[in-house]
Amino acid sequence: MIRRIFTCCLLVASIAGTHAQSFSSAFDKFKQNKRKEAIEELSSLKKDPKYGKDALLALVLSELNNRHHEKAFDYFKEFATNNENAPAYIYALWTSGLFTSLNTAKTKEAITFLKTYLAIPSVDATLKAMINSYVADALFSGNKLKEAKEEYAKIGDVKNWATVGVFENMSGSGFNKDFGVLAHPEANYKFKNKVNVDVNWFNIKYIRTDRWLDLDYYYNVTNSVIYTQTFLESEASKEAIMMIGVSGSVKVWINDFLVFSEKEERNTDFDLYQVKVKFNAGKNRILVQTGCSDIEKNNFALRFKDLNGNVMTNLKTSPTPDKYTKAETYAVTPLKFWAEKFFEDRLANSGDKDQFFDLYMLLLTYNHNDKRLEARNIASKLKKNAPLCTISNEQLCEAYARDENKTDLTKEYEAIKKQDPESFLGLTLKYNEAEETENYEDCQEFLDKKVDLYGRDENTDATQINIYNSKKEYEKMIELIESCYSKYPDSR
């Protein structure tokens, strides 16, 4: 009996060791751009109790890099099954095309998949807002406008704003300047705008369908500081979590007390900036300053959630100034954004484990949040972890592009073309060079290679149409265009 138990233990250890070697081999191929072999080996490990989730995540990234979004989504659904950490990965991968580049059938499947997270209390309110917006966008695209409006309303943004502007912000000079707006909430007070013209508060009647308050609708936002205010009624004194997403720089005052300030101009998603705030019983003035000089957008979405994480909907607000009690000062500390914290904590506690996945997901998260410096730092670490891996090096390119670092971006592009010339990006870069020199024979060669390796789709057909047009092969162009109408009926 003892001998039999010992033999079984040896067998289990042997199998575990074999699986570890198999995953290590597949992961090495993944990092070395041996795409076909890596996918085959990783696929055989999907059900492995120890390495299955890592294998599935590698398959997701592989197929995303191949621009096979539908395959990547199928793998991700397997990865998310019985995985309590899936919401953080959904957030990280949100801008990767995993959900936004699917065909019509898969988009419907993705909606069903994502809506399951709306019913889970522990899922962060930010991800739920993104899912509400995703579902509403699909309804809107399908001309189901009433249903889309109802879905957008679930986001729970603060409504009923007045605004005044614009004030000078050349090179960010207006961020800390006092234009008198904080001291004067009254509707008819006259301010001097950036061209020395009298302006006063006026009510915002229309905002974007997706619930972002876009000040481009009302102003020329270039080099601007703009203010918006509303008056929120609270039945009692209470604490809440303020959450704001923004394009531009931002300051927020509640009852004339500065509760948040961020000078860095970013294009964020919902709720990136969060802080615990206090409401007085009765009316509360909320004043938002947004500014842009480095970017050309000026918009925001403001929400509140209670201390249990539930979004506070149906808040009573009005753009009409009313009496309010100025806040007494209190300590305010910005809260760490949940998805960033998740991957930062995983890295901090990774021990001897390969950090590739956690570095990659944190990089995606920083890019999603437009945190350029943080993304660049993580990208450098990822480069050291997998110097040849095109999957990660594409994200390094994204970080360089967001940082407007053209020198290093060009170097990285050249490295990809040399080290991985048959990657999707490598072929795209070579195609673009050929197109710039009007070498359409080379264009055709690179497109044919891309179709051979990665398949034909709407984008490759569109590229083929462009080649036919450039070569004045109009009969072929018209024939392909007509066939695309039936192949891609939902194309816009």
Domain boundaries, the chain: 19-153, 162-335, 338-416, 421-492
Determine the pLDDT at residue 19: 59
pLDDT > 90: percent of the chain: 89
Residues 356-379: what's their mean pLDDT? Answer: 95
Q: Which CATH number fits domain 19-153: 1.25.40.10, 1.10.8.50, 1.10.3720.10, 3.40.718.10?
A: 1.25.40.10
Determine the pLDDT at residue 1: 57
Residues 25-31: what's their mean pLDDT? Answer: 95
- What is the per-residue pLDDT across 219-243, written as a single tens digit (0 to 9) for each? 999 999 999 999 999 999 999 999 9
pLDDT surpassing 60 at residue 250: yes
Determine the pLDDT at residue 488: 87
Query: Which amino acid appears at position 29 of this protein?
Result: K
Distance CA 105, CA 120 (A): 25
pTM of the prediction?
Answer: 0.92
Determine the pLDDT at residue 7: 52
**Which of the four pLDDT bands, split at 50, 70 and 90, describes residue 12?**
very low
**Which of the four pLDDT bands, split at 50, 70 and 90, describes residue 2?**
low
Determine the pLDDT at residue 420: 95
Q: Which CATH class is domain 162-335?
A: mainly beta
**Which of the four pLDDT bands, split at 50, 70 and 90, describes residue 427?**
very high
pLDDT surpassing 60 at residue 169: yes
Question: Which residue would you say has higher pLDDT here, 492 or 73?
Answer: 73
Distance, C-alpha 11 to centroid of its chain: 46
Question: Which residue would you say has higher pLDDT here, 58 or 395?
Answer: 58
pLDDT surpassing 80 at residue 396: yes
- What is the per-residue pLDDT across 468-489, written as a single tens digit (0 to 9) for each? 999 999 999 999 999 999 888 8
Determine the pLDDT at residue 15: 47
162-335 has the same fold as 19-153: no
**Which of the four pLDDT bands, split at 50, 70 and 90, describes residue 14?**
very low
The mean of the pLDDT values for the chain is 94
Give CB contacts under 8 A, 24+ apart, made by 260-266.
260/332, 260/334, 263/172, 263/175, 265/172, 265/291, 265/292, 265/293, 265/294, 265/295, 266/369, 266/370, 266/371
pLDDT > 70: percent of the chain: 96
Residues 325-334: what's their mean pLDDT? Answer: 96
**Which of the four pLDDT bands, split at 50, 70 and 90, describes residue 18?**
low
- What is the per-residue pLDDT across 398-421, written as a single tens digit (0 to 9) for each? 888 888 889 999 999 999 999 999
For 197-201, 261-265, 324-328, 379-383, which range has the lowest pLDDT when averaged over its residues?
379-383
Distance CA 449, CA 447 (A): 5
Paired sense of beta strands 213-214 and 224-234, if any: unpaired
Query: Which amino acid appears at position 320 of this protein?
Result: T
**Which of the four pLDDT bands, split at 50, 70 and 90, describes residue 16?**
very low
Task: Specify the DSSP class assigned to residue 325.
Answer: P
